[in-house]
Structure 1
Amino acid sequence: MKMPSWKNVPIRPGKRIKSFIIGFRPSKYSSIIFVIFFIGGFLFAFMDPAKAQSTFDGGFLLNHLTAQFIPPNEISFQYFMDQFVFFLGKVSWGIFSNNLVVSLECIFSGFLIIPVILINLFGFLGSVFYFLITKFGAFKGFIFLFGSFHLVFEVGAAILVIDAFITFYGTLIDSLRQRSLKRFKHRIWNEFIPLVLRIIILLAIAAILEVFWSTWWVYILTHPYISWIDFYTGVYSCVF
């Protein structure tokens, strides 16, 4: 009896979606690398705070964030488009496109993973966490960092970048050993490309949240409270 080909077996959309979502879960080894460098950054700041501060620029998480506002007389559709799409949306797009280019450079070069991801992101966050704790206390330092939700997605994307690098070059080496172009194309299409798509999605979410949430979050923790809608309808400049 001839068994049906897997190509002829329909895959339900629900299973496809579930499989794609599960794919956002990084590998165990890449996750361990993140933990090691995060703790390393924390210990580095603990043992030598002065050197850690000179090594890592805290950005708007540590430096004083100053925002300037011009409240609108009325919120028209045109004002909404100008403020939220052409101004704030453009800022988000700039962050996303820059992070995507850097991520692709890390994937295909490999060596950039060390300074860009392991040190300047994972280690940086560990050091920043230490400085936030010493500056604001353990509880406020925790909500300060982990309430900046864009970092969760940036870290997730960065961990997947490591997985994508391993997948791409592991596939290339394996295919060369097997002398099989078909094997290379199959694994690239079914393993590597989905990883890159997930990285793009995470980076897009991170860029949107960095502009439309985390900036406000950091501001209200270091300044008198202002509502989200008042902040974003009036802000025209943020410097730190």
Structure 2
Amino acid sequence: MKKHENLNKKVIKCLKRIAPSKYSFLIFILFYVSGLVFAILKPQYAVSSFYYGFFLGNMDVSIQLPDIISLNYLQNHFIYYLGQYSFGIFLNNIMLMVLCIFTGIAIVPVMLTGLFAFSGSLTGMLVMKFGIFKAVLILLGSFHLPLEILAALLSIDAFLKFYGSFANMVLKHDFGAFKSRIKNEFLPLILKIIVILAVAAMLEVFWSTWWVYILTNHYISWYDFYFGVRSVFVY
């Protein structure tokens, strides 16, 4: 019993370390609900306003398993093809994070509307197209999406923390406090965001695409899908 209690305490402590502030979470709830209501009341406008990607199952996937799976094939397929695609997603998200934290430019169009409101709108569209049960399955199994939302929330926190510390330094002329907060609070937060985005990019390519595909098109094993996928065209 004590071992389980200690494990639970460690898990809770770990979750608290990556939990966003209540202010950024409240912002997420507001935009998520607004996106959900928008999709329900004006679905035709929601479709034209948001790009849902592969979530609605609108994808053509070419799959052809090789006759022989060699080390050279694994290297080319999983590192230079799928891995490179995943790395591209990661770099794009990192660039958006930098824009959000250090300029604030990406906060409204990319995070508040492009991710938070999008998530709510996506929920509404999935429910209307597939029903509540399948919509819940799609959302629960798309592990990369909540991680991207978490990274966005932490990025907003990092933005507030950075410029809050900077403003405090200017007002109080205390560079030491600014340096301390950057080192002890801001930089660890940046590291968490980078790790979360890296995991999210890997899951989007190596899990979520397959998960959505089998729920919206037809079933194929994870092995056959990823060892044989040649191209994925989302329309």
TM-score (norm 2): 0.92
Cα distance change on mapping 1:35 and 1:234 into 2, 3 Å: same
User: Are 1:136 and 2:133 an aligned pair?
Assistant: no
| Residue from 105, 117, 121 that aligns with 2:115 | 121
* Counterpart Cα distance in 2 of 1:189 and 1:20: 20
**CA offsets, 1:174-223, max 9 Å, x none?**
11111011111110011110111010011000000000000000111122
Cα distance change on mapping 1:76 and 1:154 into 2, 3 Å: same
Structure showing greater radius of gyration is 1
Deviating beyond 4 angstroms after TM superposition, the runs of 4 or more aligned structure 1 residues are: 17-21
* Counterpart Cα distance in 2 of 1:131 and 1:82: 36
Alignment of 1:198-237 (within 5 A): 198-237=192-231
* Counterpart Cα distance in 1 of 2:126 and 2:218: 19
How many residues end up aligned between the 2 structures?
225
Contact kept? 2:57, 2:217, Cα under 8 Å:
no
Q: Secondary structure at the match of 1:96?
A: helix
Cα distance change on mapping 1:89 and 1:114 into 2, 3 Å: same
Question: What letter corresponds to residue 163 of structure 2 in structure 1?
Answer: Y
User: Are 1:33 and 2:30 an aligned pair?
Assistant: no
* Counterpart Cα distance in 2 of 1:221 and 1:65: 12
Identity of aligned residues (%): 48
* Counterpart Cα distance in 2 of 1:202 and 1:112: 18
Q: Secondary structure at the match of 1:238?
A: strand
- Structure 1 unaligned runs (5+)? 1-16
TM-score (norm 1): 0.90
1:162 — aligned with what?
156
**CA offsets, 1:44-80, max 9 Å, x none?**
1112111111111111112511110121111111111
RMSD after superposition: 1.7
| Residue from 77, 94, 102 that aligns with 1:100 | 94
Question: What letter corresponds to residue 191 of structure 1 in structure 2?
Answer: E
* Counterpart Cα distance in 2 of 1:148 and 1:208: 12
Alignment of 1:3-82 (within 5 A): 22-62=16-56, 64-82=58-76
